[in-house]
Amino acid sequence: MSGFDGRDVKVLVIEDNQHARLLIRTVLQTLGVTTIREAKDGEDGLEVLKEFQADLVIADWKMEPMDGLVFVERIRRGADSPNPYLPIIMVTGYSEARLVIEARDAGVNEFLAKPISAKALVGRIVSVLDKPRAFVRCEAYFGPDRRRRQLPFSGGERRKPILGEG
């Protein structure tokens, strides 16, 4: 088959800007998604998730009082998290590399820079579906594997011990 049938999918959209919410909702509806809940910030999103078992969250970064990054951290590592593996696409006007890395480190599955296009948003959703990333748990991190590809490393050790170590 071709096409995309998302009628059984439940999506939570967390975005403080009502126009951006409408835009995302419109794209989701084109994909057949009908069960869409909306929240205005991270705190509101956590409240909604108490009684709405979302399969996917699309969250903005810059929101008040709780921004998208804190929301992701609460989902991944919070004691009260409804689902630490919940796929999260972060949508934001921030596109600087260091901020993308910050979002990745917080545990975001996919990152989508504004302005949003239907094509780009659908691309990220398909990416979450087609390339599910393993989760990593270690002392300093819990979240999707931050490496895009699992490639063996065949080179020599180039990292040098810091003075006083090793």
* Angstrom distance (rounded) from CA 149 to CA 14: 29
Residue 142's CB: how many other CB atoms inside 10 A? 14
- 9 binds other proteins per the rule CB under 8 A: yes
Residue 68: φ, ψ to 5°: -65, -30
Residue 138 in tokens? 């270690």
- 147 binds other proteins per the rule CB under 8 A: no
- 115 binds other proteins per the rule CB under 8 A: yes
Beta-bridge partner residues of 13:
38, 58
Task: Single out the residue of 44, 55, 73, 105 in contact with other proteins (rule: CB under 8 A).
Answer: 55
* Angstrom distance (rounded) from CA 52 to CA 98: 33
E-assigned strand segments in 93-141: 110-113, 135-137
Stretch that binds other proteins, among 44-52, 70-78, 138-146, 156-164 (CB under 8 A): 138-146
Closest distance of CB 59 from other proteins, Å: 14
Q: Which residues contact 40 (CB under 8 A, 6 or more apart)?
A: 14, 15, 16, 63
Closest distance of CB 8 from other proteins, Å: 4
* Angstrom distance (rounded) from CA 121 to CA 4: 14
Stretch that binds other proteins, among 15-23, 43-51, 71-79, 97-105 (CB under 8 A): 15-23
Stretch that binds other proteins, among 44-52, 68-76, 85-93, 158-166 (CB under 8 A): 85-93
Task: Single out the residue of 12, 13, 14, 27 in contact with other proteins (rule: CB under 8 A).
Answer: 27
Length of the chain: 166
Closest distance of CB 36 from other proteins, Å: 14
In the complex, the residues that contact other proteins under the rule CB under 8 A are 1-6, 8-9, 17, 19-20, 22-23, 26-27, 30-31, 55-56, 62, 85, 87, 92-93, 114-119, 122, 126, 128-130, 132, 134-140, 145
